[in-house]
Chains A and B, each alone.
Chain A
Amino acid sequence: MTRIRLVQDELRPPGPPSRRHLLSIADLDRDDVERLLGTAQSFAASLERHVKKLPTLKGHLVVNLFYESSTRTSSSFELAAKRLSADTLTVRAAGSSVDKGESLKDTALTLGAYDPDVIVIRHPHVGAPQLVARVTAAHVVNAGDGTHQHPTQALLDLYTLRQELGRLEGLHVAIVGDVLHSRVARSLVEAFRLVGIRCTLVGPPTLLPRELPAETTTDIDAIRDADVVYVLRMQSERMQPGSCYVPSLREYSARWGITPERLRPGQKVMHPGPMNRGVEIDPRVADSADSLVTTEVRSGLVVRMAVLYDVLTGGPVGVRALAAAEVA
């Protein structure tokens, strides 16, 4: 994981290594991914119990700083911290001093004054998590920065794939839709490469960046070869007015919408949410037994527990932690 040097690091005597963050999938190697998925699985087992709370992070403070709307990510980070007995503090841009024009740096410094152990940040602009990591002493977890990265989404998708298909290496996933504006796709492409999943990007030529290290095609029929079809949302809010990426949502839907007719029987479908039913995904697909959408949400909780645990402890979930869980 990234070790970002604090601005004031140079002034400090050599001490323990700088903090662990999760800012991008690029921060991880394959061992990191295996460890995180393994930790998540241990937590999943613990959640089967009658008492679902673990004392693991008791006394730690996790701050959720959300500058963009979010249902899944913010709720699962909050619940993940609570399941690990951490204190949580959720700050949303709307209704905070951000409305009064406070800069990200000043907000981060303010929250940093409470000595949080982890700051989880979502922000519409690329690089916001890096700034927070530079100006605070907390471990920083990127919950989505602009069109750049959403590493915990990619990890929870790997977790879901392994749970549902039993393996990662050798799978073939087609990512369909607005790749250009998708931080999820950027994280997934790197994550898939790390674990040996073949990845094909499918969509309108205007929404497929040619430079990503993945196969690309505009032909929707290419999804037939894939084990899993990963559907992306048309991110109208990130498109400049009049930028004309597609002539109409109607034509997008006719050409690239995921319908039952375009899928093989039994082909699994994923979507990071929120879905635009009837645009990128046919409601019949969204509600079918082959849709893994709610599984992804469930995976989100345990994977985010694993990430919080991992940045703070830097190791696999040990016997002690689980023993402590037993006691609790």
Chain B
Amino acid sequence: MLFWKNGRADTLTIRRAHVVDPTEKIDEILDVTIEDGVITRLGPSDPSRLEHRVVDGTGLVLAPAFVDPHVHLRTPGREDEETIASGTAAAAAGGYCAVLAMPNTDPVVDSAATLGALVETARREAEVQVGFLAAITRGQRGEELTEMAELADAGAVAFSDDGVPVASAGLLRRALQYASITGRLLALHCEEPTLSRGGHVHEGRVAAELGFAGYPSLAESVCVGRDLAIAAYENQPVHILHLSAKESVELLYRARAAGLRASAEVTPHHLCLTDEAVRSLDPNVKMNPPLRAERDRAALVEALRDGTIEAIATDHAPHAAHEKEVPFEDAPFGVTGLETAFAALYTHLVRPGLLSLATLLERMSAGPARIFGIERPRVAVGARANLVLLDLAREWRVGERPFRSRSRNSWLLGEKLRGAVALTIAGGAVVFE
């Protein structure tokens, strides 16, 4: 289900790093030895055998590499904004060993032929592993189901119409029933179009003052409620994309408490910003769903902490500069995030004491891997090395070094962040340092 160019298998030892793997319950200074891409030794390294490469991890944190369940690689169709090569290079720079790409490309990934071409490209040029979601409906038009069984056989990791909701409840129900034969998850973009219509900004005081059409949190929560009810009726698992509203969190909490296999993700920007940021009228804070109120942000952080939300997803959405260099209302929705996610969350949530480092690491790695049934990156002897070395002391300014992404529509441009990725090992190979 995951594809990449899968070249080298490296041999190296990372010495005296602070190893943190919350799932494996490791939180101590250790040497980690990797031979031919596989972790072979945890603990004091054998100095006599250190003819291979040694990385000094003193003062650094070594953790399972990140998994991003929601990125847009813009391929096929908008290779000027991102390619599989550039998007996965950005992922490597952000500490990720795997990303899941959304199918709202041009053409939409709704046939085995389109998916097959992507898989081939990924095998040629992906720096880290990529999973491709396929569309739920043909052309994401919300009318007819895609050939899900064939798409699953062709390697689809899950199904989503991300970018647009499955507007018809009846069709979503059929999709849930039918997808059950594939064993793949449906990842749902929850938006009631008759409520969000025309909205650019969260419906609240900021939108009112700036004169924007409001996109109420109700537009999300009413759809989350509907979709969870359908999933519960059909007893099928669902994943809710980019949760943004407090009411949605409450619905998810209740559904999970009732035993539904429902998961959700939240983006760094919804965790760090509120609609107050929109006062800048910077198109790089325009995304769907929109930044919401402080009560929503606080609810998202709390849900991330207590595990109601199991995953952090960047919703990395590259856009060409000329498309974002327009008045706010004319700009497309979406911001990049792969290269800044850890630093943004470490700076805005961990350092102020709102979230523990261990929880952040879990929600960026084991959480999303578990939801989508992909191999969990872990620090354990015998495991393929998917690791990230983090320098928590380093300060850097976003944009001071060129992005590896082809686009630079980051909501953090110019901001000073604390915490940087020093080294990424994906699938046993060093892919970034």
Q: Which residues of A come within 8 Å of B, CB atoms?
A: 204-206, 218, 242-248, 250-251, 254-255
Contacts and interface: CB of A to CB of B under 8 A. Distances in A.
Contacts of B143: 242, 244
A218 B181 contact: yes
A247 B170 contact: no
B213 interface: no
Interface string B166-197: 00001100110110110000000000000000
Classify chain B's interface size: 10 to 19
A247 B177 contact: no
A251 B182 CA distance: 13
A250 B180 CA distance: 19
Contacts, number: 43
Given A251-B150, A254-B149, A254-B150, A205 B178 contact: yes
B170 A246 contact: no
Nearest to B235: A210
Contacts of B144: 242, 244, 247
A247 B181 contact: no
B145 interface: yes
Contacts of A246: 145, 178
A205 B177 contact: yes
A204 B145 CA distance: 13
A254 B174 CA distance: 19
Nearest to B150: A251
B304 interface: no
A248 B147 contact: yes
B110 to A, nearest CB: 10
Nearest to A220: B181
A251 B177 CA distance: 15
A216 to B, nearest CB: 12
Given A243-B170, A244-B144, A244-B174, A218 B149 contact: no
A255 B178 contact: no
Given A206-B178, A218-B181, A247 B171 contact: no
Contacts of A251: 147-150
B217 interface: no
Contacts of B88: none
B182 to A, nearest CB: 10
A206 B181 CA distance: 10
18 contacts: A204-B177, A204-B178, A204-B181, A205-B178, A205-B180, A206-B177, A243-B174, A247-B145, A247-B146, A247-B147, A247-B148, A247-B178, A248-B147, A251-B147, A251-B150, A254-B149, A254-B150, A255-B181
A190 B174 CA distance: 27
A207 B146 CA distance: 16
A250 B144 CA distance: 14
A251 B145 CA distance: 11
A243 B143 CA distance: 9
A218 B150 CA distance: 15
Contacts of A248: 147
A251 B178 CA distance: 12
B54 to A, nearest CB: 52
Contacts of A255: 149, 181
Contacts of A204: 177-178, 181
Interface in B131-183: 143-150, 170-171, 174-175, 177-178, 180-181
Contacts of B180: 205, 218
Contacts of B171: 242, 244
A81 to B, nearest CB: 43
Contact of A244 (B145, B149, B150, B181): B145
Contacts of A254: 149-150
A243 B178 CA distance: 12
Contacts of B147: 247-248, 250-251
Contacts of B148: 247, 251
Contact of B174 (A218, A245, A250): A245
Nearest to B153: A254
Nearest to B180: A205
Nearest to B145: A247
A205 B145 contact: no
Nearest to A219: B181
Pairs A-B, 6 closest by C-beta atoms: A247-B145, A205-B177, A251-B147, A247-B147, A206-B177, A218-B181
B197 to A, nearest CB: 23
Contacts of A247: 144-149, 178
Nearest to B178: A206
Nearest to B138: A247
Contacts of B177: 204-206
Given A218-B180, A245-B174, 16 more contacts: A204-B181, A205-B177, A205-B178, A206-B177, A218-B181, A242-B143, A244-B143, A244-B145, A244-B171, A246-B145, A247-B144, A247-B146, A247-B147, A248-B147, A251-B147, A251-B148
A254 B178 CA distance: 15
A206 B145 CA distance: 12
Contacts of B145: 244, 246-247
Contacts of A243: 170, 174
B170 to A, nearest CB: 7
A248 B143 CA distance: 13
A178 to B, nearest CB: 14
Nearest to A205: B177
B407 to A, nearest CB: 34
The residue among A204, A206, A242, A254 with the most chain B CB atoms within 10 A of its own CB is: A206
A34 B148 CA distance: 45
